[in-house]
Homo-oligomer: A and B are copies of this chain.
Amino acid sequence: MSGLRIRFSPGNLETTVEQGVTLLEAARRAGAYVGAICGGEGICGKCRVIVRKGDVEGQSTEFLTRDEIRRGYVLACQVYPRSDLVVEIPPESRLTGYVGIGEDSRRFRDFSLRLAEPPPALSPLVEKFALSLPEPTLDNPTADQERLLSAVARKRPGPLQMGLKVTRELPRLLRRCEVARSSWKWTWNGNVTATVALRGPVNEVLCVERGDTSRRNFGLALDVGTTTVVAHLVDLTTGITREAAAKYNSQIRFGADVITRINYARQPGGAEALHQAVIEDIETLIEELSRQTQIGRGDIQCIVAAGNTAMLHFLLGLEVDVIRLAPFVPAASAPPPVRAAELGLRIHPRGILYTMPMVGSFVGGDVTAGILASEIYRAEELSLLLDIGTNGEVVLGNKEFLTACSASAGPAFEGGSVGCGMRAASGAIDSLRISMPGPVISATTIDGQPPLGLCGTGLIDALAELFIAGLLDRGGRFQPSAAPKHFRMAEDDGGAEFVVVGREQSGSNRDIVITQADVENLIRTKASIYAAVDSLIQSVGVRYSDIRRVYIAGAFGNRLNVSSCVTIGLLPDLPPERIQFIGNSSVAGARLVMVSRAMYEQMQQIVERITYQDLIVDAGYMERFTSACFLPHTDLKRFPTVASHITARLGSALAPH
């Protein structure tokens, strides 16, 4: 009846499991991250681990080569320990912990500095007021609570609330009690600071402190992304971000995309595990920010959380299953502000967590935040906002109208459903050039580490460069004859695959390749987003040339090459100066709301203005998608710049060297 001891390296993490538990589940219990995009269903092939010692049982799979199987590779989700094990997690299956550590921290730092300008009028959701309450007299014996509330009301008009706990503390905060010759003496001390938070239609006095603590007022702007959780610690007295930090969403261990996680949540204890995972991530970020800035948790008075609808539901512990099933109804689209402590977040004990409002199951609080941060809601000119993640959210509009839709893009741009795809972690190829003839491939990797795979920006570059180099045709089919040395037959299906980096140069001891299937996946992904844009354009009845601004949001956007995006037909062919990266607009919107009640009000109005276009019921969407499943599109007239590149290449190919 004794369990099996499983040890994972690196990290020497150990656990004991009973028979019948998968190796992936054992890794979860040991706290060892193993990439598992599909959530353990054996269909993504990402949970590769090497069994160094001991026996497992379970099927071998199409995802492993014969050689790898010989070397001990297994898919962790498909095998069951039969003895004590020693398991190695190879680099390609590991998760880099903090995104914000090392080289990457600067990326986040720079971004935070770009957001550091205070908003026009500072009026944070939680404010601190230093008060000097006059001492009560027989002529003016107003009760402590009412004395305080009337002083606060002069600073912030409108209905006021105050909880019992604060009321209980008040008499002893407003007086010093001394015992002199066995008689008690209360000495008035009216200099206090009241912390006041907006809570729906009323203001709540969260706490009262002795003296003037009004300078110590901080808030956390949060983006709970499917892949990354980003936090900005904002000084609410200036509106400026003091420090930012980011971390992978540790829900990834339950699945890389939203649907996989929602399915996992159905298991007994699953929803709670997902909820706890994100809470622990935020706790880690708070700890990190507190350590870096020497700002105490107790001085953080509020959190404003943005994120897609599923992530915000997980954060709040709301039922997610209904999001996934027609008619796709969220539990709440404007969840109530709650005490952060109720969720287990240890900021000020009475601190409030606000949630960015959502439009529906597919247009979440990240999109509304993006609309706010990009300011398209008040622009004269027609603007397009693209938030490209596992789902691609698209918003088209200006100060007159806002229309939004969501395309199920799939995880290809995040490294999922692509053999050598990976997240934008250390060792990921994030930009790539192919020069012909040759081809000569030059690439950069994150942190300058030996390459392990390709992240989204690298994959987009690869697709664009392969196409421009003539190694892919407009239908997305490889042209091996154009560079025979770089192509080979795939072991499994016999299709062609392009070797980006050979085993000897890679950090994972295997070739980094792009297969025909990968190309198809990437084209489907970009096509779904382009078709979504197309649907909005059509429904509104405008032309592409009417779009004066394209905003691209997402952590992903930071190293994205606009030209590559246009080349593959992900973005419309517009003058480059109209296209702008705005980085993580989700956290930027959360921060705006946190420092400005006007923005908080604005946010509610924006949500009501948005018209949601459901692509599932849009008869034309499928046709638009099919037309977009070409490079760059079936209708080349839409992409004159790309057309001229092709002409130039054909010209140079024809021209004698």
Contact = CB atoms under 8 A, between A and B. Distances in A.
Contact of A327 (B141, B159, B170, B325): B141
A333 interface: yes
A43 interface: no
A209 interface: no
Interface centre among A138, A143, A358 (most CB of B within 10 A): A143
A338 interface: yes
A144 to B, nearest CB: 5
Interface centre among A171, A326, A614 (most CB of B within 10 A): A171
Contact of A200 (B159, B171, B328): B159
Interface residues of A, number: 54
A146 B322 contact: no
Given A161-B200, A200-B161, A138 B326 contact: yes
B330 A144 contact: yes
A266 B318 contact: no
Contacts of A167: 316, 318, 331-332, 335-336
A136 B332 contact: no
A186 B137 contact: no
A361 B144 CA distance: 11
A172 interface: yes
A141 B328 contact: yes
A332 B145 contact: yes
Contacts of A186: 321-322, 325
Nearest to A329: B136
Q: Is the interface of A mostly helix, strand, loop or mixed?
A: loop
A332 B144 contact: yes
B141 A361 contact: yes
Contact of A617 (B138, B200, B331, B614): B138
A141 B201 contact: no
Nearest to A162: B336
A517 interface: no
A360 interface: yes
A163 interface: yes
A539 interface: no
A333 B143 contact: yes
B144 A331 contact: yes
Given A202-B200, A319-B171, A322-B186, A329 B143 contact: yes
B336 A144 contact: no
A144 B614 CA distance: 19
A38 B191 CA distance: 37
B331 A168 contact: yes
B138 A614 contact: yes
A142 interface: yes
Contact of A336 (B163, B172, B333): B163
A199 to B, nearest CB: 8
A171 B331 contact: yes
Given A138-B327, A138-B616, A266-B184, A336 B161 contact: yes
A316 B137 CA distance: 25
Contact of A143 (B161, B163, B317, B331): B331
A609 interface: no
Q: How many copies does the complex hold?
A: 2
A609 to B, nearest CB: 16
A183 to B, nearest CB: 10
A109 interface: no
Contact of A360 (B141, B171, B318, B331): B141
Contact of A168 (B177, B319, B321): B319
Given A164-B342, A172-B319, A327-B137, A146 B333 contact: yes
A151 interface: no
B322 A144 contact: yes
A175 interface: yes
Contacts of A138: 326-328, 614, 616-617
A175 B322 CA distance: 10
Interface string A322-362: 10011111111111101000100000000000000010110
Contacts of A200: 159, 161, 202
Interface string A273-309: 0000000000000000000000000000000000000
Contacts of A317: 164, 168
Nearest to A177: B321
Contacts of A336: 161-164, 167
Contact of A330 (B143, B159, B319, B328): B143
A617 B137 CA distance: 12
B316 A164 contact: yes
A173 B167 CA distance: 35
A307 to B, nearest CB: 15
Contacts of A361: 141
Contacts of A201: 159, 201-202
13 contacts: A143-B332, A144-B329, A144-B330, A144-B332, A145-B332, A159-B201, A167-B316, A168-B316, A168-B317, A168-B331, A170-B332, A171-B322, A186-B322
The 8 nearest A-B residue pairs measured at CB: A145-B332, A171-B319, A143-B333, A159-B201, A143-B330, A164-B338, A136-B329, A138-B327
Interface of A: 136-138, 140-146, 159, 161-164, 167-168, 170-172, 175, 177, 184, 186, 200-202, 266, 316-319, 321-322, 325-336, 338, 342, 358, 360-361, 614, 616-617
Given A138-B327, A164-B316, 13 more contacts: A137-B327, A138-B326, A143-B331, A143-B334, A143-B360, A144-B332, A159-B200, A163-B336, A164-B317, A164-B336, A167-B335, A168-B331, A171-B331
